[in-house]
Chain A
């Protein structure tokens, strides 16, 4: 108990096979409370599969995932989210025909304090809690500087702001662990700088543990304290950004030089 009290996520020997293809093999990862760690690797290394395994979209072939010292393997994705793990997606998956406000309000649904019957009759309880919920969502949007866009349809927003909405929506789930899947994909250098500030900001303000997948090396090297590198479904290196930059196996995996590469 003493040793695990600060551990929030503990993945042991995680393995996932799609038919004969081992997408993830013997993957280990430990996150302590308050970590801001990175998961990198070349395309097809299995990073997003790891995210999908953690959030319950895939069921692992073998291995264990402990969140707060309880196993979450076999739980439905929505149950895992309700326990406190939220995520964003590699290709933005907003509810694109709904307003920005509704996107955030949907994330509040599991915390809604009125039931189906209250919703059908629109009684006093409904009005009170609906107002409360809306205000909470608006407060959230204000934090992200999106309040003036609350009645905009999500798909009409520019790309950078859609990313912001997606992160705001994930945070509205009130998570303790946030998984960001390539948050900087498709952003220009200025937007990337803003994003790095944003990640730092939410990490501090919401007391979060963050694990992020990223291809942009300046993002990963700039904000992550500790990095795990994957290739062909396996961990090939771990360490601080500086150690990773100097690690030969990592350089090989990315640049593919040398004949000793065959794993």
Chain B
């Protein structure tokens, strides 16, 4: 029985990795219809495996939980890889942005199903107006030479706070219009029909991501001027601050529905495989496209050599900020997806010890390798949660504790054998940068004499 289970788990892990490889392979095909069909098939395969046929299901409910967790973790870890692996900024703040995304999205949908539209209105208007305010302040500041970082930070902060206050007023003013349509929890109105709820969920995830990105902009602006190590400590502080705010969300923050340290219950479980797949693919594609554009090369050049990047005309501070904001955006989306699959948020999940999880995944998979991060996210969840928890629990009730002994040992061995991470900087299929071919024919204005000939 135990052996059979072990084999089954190993087969599942191999199947998942083969699945990821196939997915990335098909996305790398040149024909766009092949890519589209491939993506639909990739979605359908898991969807079928999750569907119950007369009581038989290939992936059990436990497996599907792991799957969604892995999808959320992929988004968070890819964001961190952008910040740490590609941009070279050691950040422990990713988990804080993950928490912000989770709580913001959960608050929107929780209020919505309980007949309160203010969550969506305030967060929605807040992020849009806040974004506009930040852009306008940025435009205005661009006209001056040598503005100190703290001065511009103060202006950005004022802009964001004003936008937030305006959003609260708008939310409170518009809420009565929505209330009759929302109905109550026991008697749902029009806007709480299953379809409308899907739309609200989508908006909640996107707004949560943007909200996390805006917070990261305000936080990153002054803090990114610190050197990499000091930046790491400051971001760790950020995660702790966010966690403390979560624990006290019903006392020092005006959010009684978050229930502070007791944990937020009753979040609608809206994350389906479709949404998890959709958001994960969106994150993968956005990040891959970003990395393989000129902006992405600028981001990587900052990791390689900051001084040289400056001398090549790269706005180093701007590149760092961009990578940090985009990375946090991914974390916020990941958090929102996580919140709606688990249905319960506890501040304990977002503690600072757990904040090392995405870091471990990124290092494990290989800094600067998207493929490695994706594979490690899935592998990590299935290894730690799936394999070890279930396997060890068959040996005795106390045994699962051992997984936190086995797991660091695995990490240690990996770091000894492959310090560059599981995949180094190898990429698969879609994520692989195509080698640039030499020019086919010399251009017409090719110089007659080249320096190599003189």
Contacts and interface: CB of A to CB of B under 8 A. Distances in A.
B310 A57 contact: yes
B300 A145 contact: no
Q: How large is the interface on B (under 10, 10 to 19, 20 to 34, 35 or more residues)?
A: 35 or more
Contact of A144 (B315, B443, B451): B451
Contacts, number: 144
Contacts of A139: 439, 443, 446
Given A121-B289, A143-B447, A148-B438, A94 B294 contact: no
B410 interface: no
Contact of B295 (A93, A119, A138, A201): A119
Chain A interface, DSSP helix/strand/loop, else mixed: helix
A77 B298 contact: no
B450 A142 contact: yes
Given A55-B311, A77-B310, A169-B312, A126 B293 contact: yes
A87 B294 contact: no
B143 interface: no
Contacts of B449: 201
A133 B294 contact: yes
Contact of A106 (B312, B425, B451): B312
A130 B451 contact: no
A89 B310 CA distance: 12
Interface residues of A, number: 57
B177 interface: no
Interface in B9-39: none
Contact of A78 (B305, B314, B450): B314
B294 A119 contact: yes
Given A82-B313, A150-B436, A114 B294 contact: yes
B345 interface: no
Interface string B280-301: 0000001001101111111011
B322 to A, nearest CB: 8
Contacts of A202: 451
B187 interface: no
A81 B438 CA distance: 29
B398 interface: no
B316 interface: yes
B304 A78 contact: no
Interface of A: 55, 57, 74-78, 81-82, 86-87, 89, 93-98, 101-102, 105-110, 112, 114, 116, 118-122, 126, 130, 133-135, 138-139, 142-145, 147-148, 150-151, 169-170, 173, 197-198, 201-202, 205
Q: Lowest 8 CB-CB distances: which A-B pairs, in order?
A: A145-B452, A119-B293, A81-B313, A95-B304, A77-B310, A93-B308, A110-B313, A112-B294
